[in-house]
Chain A
Amino acid sequence: MSVKIPIYMDYQSTTPVDPRVLEAMLPYFTEVFGHPASRNHSFGWDAEQAVDVAREQVAKLIGATAKEVIFTSGGTEAINLAIRGVAEMYGEKGRHMVVAVTDSRPVHDVVKRLVREHQYEVTEVPVDKEGRVSADAVKAALRPDTILISVMMANNEIGTVQDMVAIGKVAKEAGVLLFSDATEAVGKVPVDVQEMGIDLLAVTAHKMYGPKGVGALYVRRRNPRVRLSAQIDGGGHERGMRSGTLNVPGVVGMGKAAELCMQEMPEESARMGVLRDHLENGILAGLDEVQVNGSREHRLPHNLNISFAYVEGESMLMGLKEIALASGSACTTATLEPSYVIRALGVSEELAHSSLRFSIGRFTTEEEVEYVIGRVVETIQRLREMSPLYEMAKEGVDLSQVQWSAH
């Protein structure tokens, strides 16, 4: 079996640019280099036309109209613009937001600043053990002064996909704006802002085989018309919501990436699902005491998050160094806490430290999956031989009853 080392299984972190996307982008660096806001010459018109096409391509992928798409520098900026923009525009109406506990780090950080500096209050909606937010729980968290609900469409760690249609209904009934960080979902699963009742939606190009540093915010124009306070002032580009000369090659790339995802989604997601299930089944067949985190039913087709009891995440990554993976272990992040997403499922801290995220993608092969199964099984077995916890568990010790020395 010949596989090329290293193997990339971290597609939820970022994806390579699809060669077809790159090809579409290249002319916009040199030949068609005009400023899309230059209205007086063909250089500008050509650039503007390319941006219009891209806007249409992105809009189509999410069931929106082109005018509702605001290009940004990426997902993080789109999230900042959505939440801060709403807070500044609607702060008079109320200062309460409802956020799903498993929402992304940028969402929580933006909201935390509003709480700290602008007297906002936030209610975090819990998730069930599969990571799903219930529409009823969202409804229960609403207050008369709630101005925004934020529920991420699909989680970056566990891949759990939310029931946005049900949550959207609750938002509509209450007349509260609904924002969704859909950076992990768009291009992978069908997204329709109309059907889902979403008012604001963040997308990034680099998770769907487009370039890094470009993203978009969908801003609803009808029923209701959402207004935002701009976060970057300047030339009044992007309907005054986001000033700054557009990254035209990036925008073109994002558009092309969106078009390809749209065309290939049915086939691609089916292929991802087969490969992912093979990976999951292979690992589960080779090892005992492993658990899949998140929902197996409502899950992105390219995501697999597993906790391997009695072994720590960073040591696993070290043993699997030729495979690019992510871990929920505290040792692999800047913080001292293990993944808050996995903790929110009710999974113990110990098992959160023991989690690995495999995310496959467009260029993953069956051979790579086979290779990874073998290496994962072998590495976990070796580390378990080395683990005092595994030894104790095999001796019948109930680890939850042991008096550990905290440190």
Chain B
Amino acid sequence: MAYSDQVLDHYNNPRNMGSFGKDEEGVGTGIVGAPECGDVMKLQVKINEDGIIEDARFKTFGCGSAIASSSLATEWLKGRTVDEAMAIKNTDIVEELNLPPVKIHCSVLAEDAIKAAVGDYVKKSGKESASGGSGAA
């Protein structure tokens, strides 16, 4: 399979790869996917008192496109509000990474991971976001 330059770039130079402590102040964690399906994404956001995502981290088990989708997601999350983060759509990721149809599920998983991570933060902090969100798996 030929990969787009964007996917290759994220695969070779992953952005914000790593982890925050799960119990750190202001951290929301989302883990989505399943090992038997061949992809698992862990996405974390660190949100400050103003409700702005200050920092993000990811770790991904999956193909290059899954790694790139989650790496891109962390880049996009930084600086956004909770509601803005919830508005990120998988189709935006598909477009930015030039993903072929067979890899669209990677972008869906990344969107799910964003919602799960932000949702986890919202739940833990007791704050309600306008759009709500599902908890971490």
- A interface residues, Cβ below 8 angstroms from B: 310-315, 318-319, 329-332, 338, 348-350, 353, 385-391, 399, 403-407
Min Cβ gap A289→B in Å is 13
The answer to whether A386 and B67 have CB atoms under 8 Å apart is yes
* Residues from chain B with Cβ under 8 Å of A407 in the complex: 32-34, 37, 105, 108-109, 112
Instruction: Give per-residue flags for B6-40: 1 if the beta carbon is below 8 A from chain A beta carbons, else 0.
Output: 00000100100101000000000001111111111
The answer to whether A349 and B36 have CB atoms under 8 Å apart is yes
Query: DSSP majority for the A interface?
Result: helix
Min Cβ gap A323→B in Å is 16
Chain B 79-137 interface residues, beta-carbon cutoff 8 Å to A: 105, 108-109, 112, 116, 137
The answer to whether A403 and B137 have CB atoms under 8 Å apart is yes
Provide the bound-state CA to CA distance between A357 and B129, in Å.
48
Quick check: is B41 within 8 A (CB to CB) of the other chain? yes
* Residues from chain A with Cβ under 8 Å of B19 in the complex: 391
The answer to whether A318 and B3 have CB atoms under 8 Å apart is yes
Quick check: is B51 within 8 A (CB to CB) of the other chain? no
| 21 A–B contacts from the bound complex (CB under 8 Å) | A312-B63, A315-B11, A315-B62, A315-B67, A329-B63, A338-B38, A349-B35, A350-B38, A386-B59, A388-B40, A388-B42, A388-B61, A390-B61, A391-B42, A404-B34, A404-B35, A404-B137, A405-B32, A405-B34, A406-B34, A407-B33
The answer to whether B61 and A387 have CB atoms under 8 Å apart is yes
Min Cβ gap B70→A in Å is 9
Quick check: is B60 within 8 A (CB to CB) of the other chain? yes
Provide the bound-state CA to CA distance between A348 and B35, in Å.
10
The answer to whether A386 and B34 have CB atoms under 8 Å apart is no
In this complex, the interface size class of chain B, counting residues with CB under 8 Å from chain A, is: 20 to 34
Q: Closest 6 interchain pairs by CB?
A: A404-B34, A388-B42, A405-B137, A349-B36, A350-B35, A314-B63
> Closest B-chain residue to A338, C-beta based?
B38
The answer to whether A389 and B11 have CB atoms under 8 Å apart is no
The answer to whether B41 and A388 have CB atoms under 8 Å apart is yes
> Closest B-chain residue to A385, C-beta based?
B17
Additional pairs, 7, CB under 8 Å, beyond known A315-B66, A350-B36, A388-B40? A314-B1, A318-B64, A353-B36, A387-B59, A388-B31, A404-B40, A407-B37
Provide the bound-state CA to CA distance between A12 and B36, in Å.
26
* Residues from chain B with Cβ under 8 Å of A332 in the complex: 1
Provide the bound-state CA to CA distance between A92 and B53, in Å.
73
* Residues from chain B with Cβ under 8 Å of A388 in the complex: 31, 40-42, 59-61
Min Cβ gap B134→A in Å is 9
The answer to whether B33 and A404 have CB atoms under 8 Å apart is yes
* Residues from chain A with Cβ under 8 Å of B116 in the complex: 405
> Closest A-chain residue to B109, C-beta based?
A407
The verdict on A312 contacting B59 (CB below 8 Å), with A405-B33, A405-B34 known, is no
